[in-house]
Amino acid sequence: MSNGNLVEIRDLHVDFPNPQGFTPAVRGISFSMGREKLGIVGESGSGKSVTGRALMRLLPEAARVRAGALRFDGTDILAASERQMRGLRGGRIGLIMQDPKYSLNPVMTVGAQIAEAWRAHNKGSKREARDAALTLLEQVKIRDPGRVLDSYPHEVSGGMGQRVMIAMMLAPNPDLLIADEPTSALDASVQAEILKLIEDLVSARGMGLMLISHDLPLVGRFCDRVVVMYAGQVMEELPARDLHRAQHAYTRGLLDCMPSLSQKRDRLPVLTRDAAWLEKRA
Amino acid sequence: MSGTTQPAGTRRDWLLSDTPASRAQARWGRRYQLWLAFRRNPLAVAGLAVVLAMLVLAIAAPLLATHDPGAQSLANRLQPPSAEHWLGTDELGRDTWSRLLYGGRVTLGMVVAVVILVAPLGLVVGCVAGYAGGLLDKVLMRVTDVFLAFPRLILALAFVAAMRPGVESAVIAIALTAWPPYARLARAETLTIRNTDYIAAVQMTGASPWRIIWKHVAPMCLPSLTVRVTLDMSSIILTAAGLGFLGLGAQPPIPEWGTMIATARRFILEQWWVPVIPGLAIFTASLAFNLLGDGLRDVLDPKQR
Amino acid sequence: MSETPMIEAAGLDVHFGSNHVVRDIAFQVAPGETYGLVGESGSGKSTVLRTIAGLVTGWDGTLRVAGQQLGPRRDRAFFRRVQMVFQDPYGSLHPRQTVDRILAEPLEVHGIEGAEARIARALEEVALPRAARFRYPHQLSGGQRQRVAIARALIADPSVLLLDEPTSALDVSVQAEVLNLLADLRVARQLTCILVSHNLAVIGHLCGRLAVMQHGRIVEELTEAQLRAGEAQHPHTRDLIALSHELEG
């Protein structure tokens, strides 16, 4: 059943075990996405990262995952074999995480890591892999790719590290890029550059992008469509350009409570959490 | 625990409450959580049970012993296990079961004494060195290195040889060689703890370095030290037994597991049970302590708990 | 400024080994004022704050709090006057101590009487439920933890509060609550504050005056009105302002 949707999620539930039973993290969310830029926004604990990980089956084994449908390009993620999943993860789905410091191997050169990622999903000699790595570094707009290729992760800055991560994820030519808070650890100036880069690459290669973030305005700027999550459920789903016309009180509250440089306010409006938001939604 | 004031059956709820109403409740709640986590590891629980059982047996030795551990009966030497002598007799006709119980007192007593001497010393030296840094750190760590440089048994041998062989000397000798790893461990932990924001926040209360070390740094080092101590118990038992075996620990006729093996080793081929039985006791105790330590490590080590 | 400044820095330099991280910093903060230090990571803004707090060794220059010259070591009286709130509420509370114990510590150190009443009042002041008192930090949310950290800083009645990115680890809705709380407390307690942040909007919200830092130096000092009116001169300040507007959308 491939109706052009890259990702189809229907009634996804994820629970984590606790000493007393199970704590729900995702409580029945549904959405689908094609080759577009989808933003998933929510505060910590809203289940946004868990959703991304469920799609790659990267959750701890103790977690209980149930869904009406959890499909990537027609593949049933819940029923797929571990072998199939390995082909998806880092093959057809790339994952960029928050801090490159922790997601890069500290004792391997940047070039070796990218080459390894390339060779895992392409056939070719060491020589070819190295050339591919160099090309990828150029694509992520690293100025001196030859030098970066032979440096270790601790020798590059945070922004550069994130570019390297992106290059690694692009190596197998994926169909979907999941970026989980890709710029939260970076300075604002670098943040904008990295997101611009991701946006350009995704558009140029016709990939899907799932941008998971707590930063609503940021997601609004870089995505086509935004899914707003709260307490494991989807509150609202809307085109990014309509963000300032959001209907749901939660979305409005999130947008409103940020301090602003352009208008002065003595007090910031505080988000009052409506108990009704927690109720089970159809 | 004031759980008795609650309706029956809610003590568990009281312990697991998310909103404790007193310091005591919060503390017991945390301990209960740790216990629940520990209980999930059957091997560790088995280790704990064996350790406790051995301690009880050793403490209750006078009640459980069937014979006087020192009473010789040369007519009955080297008997196999029987109804009269449950684990047989040794080369002087002494009852092995009774000697094993009394020997447990000596062997386990030595282990406990070593730990009581060693753990606090290592903790203090390590925390002070790590927190103070600079010259004090260098001096303390070089002293530690000197002790660390000697092979454990050799230093203990030299020390016991210089003093009078006996249980006390053996304990001091083992303690002397056992503390440096604890100091190193405590120092390593302190070095990371010292740079955390919560210690910076305590420094900003104006608390003295001693207070910070005692009340804030040392408690954070304790879990890993506890784990290390439990894992080390077996090697302490083995060193104690080794000294006993070489005739430098407990002196005959005091029953001590290592000494028991040493004196019975000539009979290993014909009356094999005589040396094997104390050997099994050492083996069981070491294994139990190791399993317990492994379990404790799983429970205590994750820093977020 | 006619009155004696509450906090005064002049020719402040900080070295970490061979790294010169703060270069020739000078600024003054009047009593009751909130002063902002803004810059990107590595600009030295947090180091300035930690140096004032006495958490950094190896600095030269002049630092004065309430007219008193600060030496390399701070006495207990200094810590009654100056307190700090750290960036990461997950790292700044002792993981093995209950909220009650954390709040009692400053009172014990300074020998302040009436701990029971003070702790209850401190919790109330930062709007924490009474039930939070005997919890461990891991049982609290990020916002609640930061409230505990604020309560701890204020429990011995300081007059200077140093805020090191107090909201950057929090969700925006929680950030709003904490910023409102800080604004209220600052008035109620007549606090002099220094706020360090990478977020210009947060700085603009709380601070009357601010300094922009880059590579360990203050490149520009301006008032909130100048910031909002876009009267910044230095190119780095202009870049930061432009970015901030851009992300506001």
Residue indicated by tokens 């079961």 = B97
In A, minimum Cα distance to B35 occurs at A19
Chain-chain contact of C135 with B219 (C-beta, under 8 angstroms): no
Subunit contact B33:A19, Cβ cutoff 8 A = yes
Residue C1 lies in a domain: no
A–B CB contacts, 8 A cutoff, strictly below? 4
Q: Which chain A residues are Cβ-neighbours of C177 within 8 angstroms? A: 270
Average pLDDT, chain B: 86
Is pLDDT at B305 greater than 60 in this prediction?
Answer: no
C58 touches chain B (CB under 8 A): no
Q: How confident is the model at residue B304 (pLDDT cuts 50, 70, 90)?
A: very low
The nearest CA of chain C is from the CA of B102 a distance in Å of: 40
Task: Evaluate whether C190 touches C33 at the Cβ level (below 8 Å).
Answer: no
The highest-confidence range among A126-135, C65-74, C207-216, by mean pLDDT, is C207-216
b/e C194-233 (16+ beta carbons within 10 angstroms → b): bbbbbbbbbbbbbbebbbbbbebbbbbbbebebbbeeebe
pLDDT of residue C50: 95
Q: Which of C98, C106, C149 sits opposite B205 (nearest CB)?
A: C106
Query: In this complex, is the C-beta atom of C46 within 8 Å of any C-beta atom belonging to chain B?
Result: no
Backbone angles phi, psi at C176, to 5 degrees: -60, -45
- Higher-confidence residue of B263 and B191: namely B191
User: Residue B6: which pLDDT band, with cuts at 50, 70 and 90?
Assistant: very low
Do residues A77 and A141 make contact, with C-beta atoms less than 8 angstroms apart?
no
What pLDDT is recorded for position B12? 81
User: What is residue B208's three-state secondary structure?
Assistant: coil
* Predicted local distance difference test score (pLDDT) of residue A193: 86
β-sheet bridge partners, residue C14: C22, C59
Q: Domain residues of chain A, as ranges?
A: 1-88+177-185+210-282, 93-173
Please give the residue of chain C at the shortest CA–CA distance from A186: C41
- The alpha-carbon gap from C9 to the nearest alpha carbon of chain B, in Å, equals 20
* pLDDT, mean of residues C181-205: 95
CB contact under 8 A, B19 and C149: no
CA angle A90, A101, A111 (to 5 degrees): 60
**B10: chain A residues, CB-CB within 8 Å:** none
Asked if A193 is an interface residue toward chain C (Cβ–Cβ < 8 A), one would say: no
The 3-state secondary structure of chain A, one letter per residue: CCCCCCEEEEEEEEEEEECCEEEEEEEEEEEEECCCEEEEECCCCCCHHHHHHHHHCCCCCCCEEECCEEEECCEECCCCCHHHHHHHECCCEEEECCCHHHHCCCCCCHHHHHHHHHHHHCCCCHHHHHHHHHHHHHHCCCCCHHHHHCCCHHHCCHHHHHHHHHHHHHCCCCCEEEEECCCCCCCHHHHHHHHHHHHHHHHHHCCEEEEEECCHHHHHHHCCEEEEEECCEEEEEEEHHHHHHCCCHHHHHHHHCCCCCCCCCCCCCCCCCCHHHHCCCC
How many angstroms separate the CA atoms of A111 and A156, rounded? 12
Q: Which domains does chain B have, with CATH numbers?
A: 110-300 (1.10.3720.10)
Which of B123-127, B171-175, B198-202 comes out lowest in average pLDDT? Answer: B171-175
Q: Hey, what's the torsion of the CAs at C72, C197, C232, C240, to 10 degrees?
A: 130
Chain B residue with minimal CA distance to C50?
B200
What whole-number distance in Å separates Cα of residue C231 and Cα of residue A151? 42
Q: Model confidence over A45-59: pLDDT tens digits?
A: 899 999 999 999 999
Answer for the pair A198, A182: CB distance below 8 angstroms, yes or no: yes
- Does B33 sit within 8 Å of A20, measured CB to CB? no
pLDDT of residue A60 exceeding 50: yes
pLDDT value at position B9? 58
Runs of H (alpha helix) within chain B: 11-16, 23-39, 42-59, 61-64, 96-132, 134-149, 152-162, 167-194, 197-203, 209-211, 218-245, 257-264, 273-300
Please name the residues in contact with C131: beta carbons below 8 A apart, sequence gap of 6 or more: B19, B21
Nearest to B206 among C79, C100, C134 (CB): C79
Q: Check A20 against B16: CB less than 8 A apart.
A: yes
Report pLDDT digits (tens) over C58-103. 899 999 999 999 988 899 999 999 999 999 888 999 998 999 999 9
Of residues A254, A261, A271, nearest to C248 (C-beta): A261
- A216 and C247 within 8 Å at the Cβ level: the answer is no
State the average pLDDT for chain C. Answer: 92
CB contacts, 8 Å: B16 with chain A: 19-20
C-alpha distances (whole Å) from C90 to each of A178, C74, C163, C195 are: 27, 26, 16, 19
CA of B192, closest CA in chain C: separation in Å? 12
Is there a contact between C55 and B204 if contact means CB atoms under 8 Å apart?
Answer: yes
Residues 106-145 of C with CB under 8 A from B: 106, 109-110, 131-132, 134-136, 138-139
Judged against a pLDDT cut of 60, whether residue B303 lies above it is answered with no
Q: In what order do the strands lie in the sheet with C160-164?
A: C82-85, C160-164, C192-197, C34-38, C209-214, C217-223
CATH of domain A1-88+177-185+210-282: 3.40.50.300
pLDDT in tens, A224-248: 999 999 999 999 999 998 988 888 9
Q: What is d(CA A195, CA A162) in angstroms, rounded to the nearest whole number?
A: 10
Query: Residues of B at the A interface (Cβ-Cβ below 8 Å)?
Result: 16, 33, 36
Task: Say if the Cβ atoms of A261 and C40 lie within 8 Å.
Answer: no
Task: Give the mutation candidate from C51, C73, C92, C94 for the B interface (greatest B CB count, under 10 A).
Answer: C94
Mean per-residue pLDDT for C193-211?
Answer: 95
- The one-character DSSP state at B144 is H
**Residue C220 carries which DSSP code?**
E
Q: Measure Cα distances from B55 to B185, C168, C224 in Å.
A: 28, 53, 71
> Greatest CA separation found in chain B?
76
**pLDDT at residue C36 is higher than 50:** yes
pLDDT of residue B4 exceeding 50, the answer is no
Who among C75, C134, C149 is closest to B26 (CB)? C134
Closest-CA residue of C relative to B218 is: C96
Q: Using the beta-carbon criterion (under 8 Å), do B198 and C131 form an inter-chain contact?
A: no
Q: Is B131 helix (H, G, I), strand (E, B) or coil?
A: helix
pLDDT value of residue C249: 60
Residue B4, C-beta contacts closer than 8 angstroms, at least 6 positions apart? none
Alpha carbons B182 and B130: distance in angstroms, whole number: 12
Residue C184 to chain A, least CA–CA distance (Å): 9
Average pLDDT over residues C148-160: 95
On chain A, the residues whose CB falls within 8 A of the CB of C204 are 259, 261, 264
Boundaries of domain holding C241: 7-248
Residue B31 touches partner C, C-beta closer than 8 Å: no
CB distance A26 to A66 below 8 Å: no
CA distances from A50 to A56, A63, A233, C140, C219 (A): 10, 10, 12, 21, 43
State the CB neighbour count (10 A cutoff) for residue A228.
Answer: 24
C160 close contact with B: CB closer than 8 A: no
Averaging pLDDT over each range in A115-119, B200-204, B231-235, which range is the top one? B200-204
CB distance C40–A258 less than 8 Å?
no
**Comparing A170-179, B239-248, B286-295, C94-103, which segment has the lowest mean pLDDT?**
B239-248
Which ranges in B40-166 belong to alpha helices (H)? 42-59, 61-64, 96-132, 134-149, 152-162
User: What angle (nearest 5°) sits at the alpha carbon of residue A105, between those of residues A99 and A111?
Assistant: 105
> Which amino acid, one-letter code, is at B200?
A
Region B145-173 average pLDDT: 84
CATH code at C82? 3.40.50.300
Distance CA A78, CA A56 (A): 10
Cα–Cα distance list, B28 to B11, B13, B40, B303 (Å): 11, 12, 19, 19
Distance between CA atoms of residues A18 and A28, nearest Å: 20
Helix (H, G, I), strand (E, B) or coil at B9: coil
Amino acid at C201: A
Instruction: Please report which confidence band the pLDDT of residue C2 belongs to, taking 50, 70 and 90 as the band edges.
Output: low
Residue A188 and residue C245: Cβ atoms within 8 Å?
Answer: no
Taking the Cβ of residue B62 and every Cβ of chain C, the question of whether any pair is shorter than 8 Å is answered with no
Q: With contact defined as beta carbons under 8 Å apart, do C58 and C84 qualify?
A: no
Residue type, A83: R
**Considering only alpha carbons, which residue of chain B is nearest residue C100?**
B23
Mean pLDDT of chain A: 89
- What count of residues does chain C have? 249
Distance from the C56 Cα atom to the nearest Cα atom in chain A, whole angstroms: 24
Q: Is C35 on the interface with B (CB under 8 A)?
A: no
Nearest CA to CA, how far is B85 from chain C (Å)?
52
Mutate to test the interface with C, among A268, A273, A277 (most CBs of C within 10 A): A268
> Average pLDDT for residues C208-226, to the nearest whole number?
95
Report the gap between the CA of C135 and the closest CA in chain B (Å).
Answer: 6
Nearest Cα residue in chain B from C157: B205
pLDDT over 90 (residue C210): yes
Percent of chain A clearing pLDDT 70 (strictly above): 98
Task: Suggest the residue from C173, C200, C215 to mutate for an interface test with chain A (most A CBs closer than 10 A).
Answer: C173
With CB atoms and an 8 Å threshold, state whether A214 touches C227: no
pLDDT at B7 over 80: no
Q: How far apart are CA B70 and CA B40, in angstroms?
A: 43
Residues of B157-177 as b/e, b for ≥16 C-beta within 10 angstroms? bebbeeeebebebbbbbbbbb
User: Tens digit of pLDDT for each residue in B106-123?
Assistant: 989 998 899 999 999 999
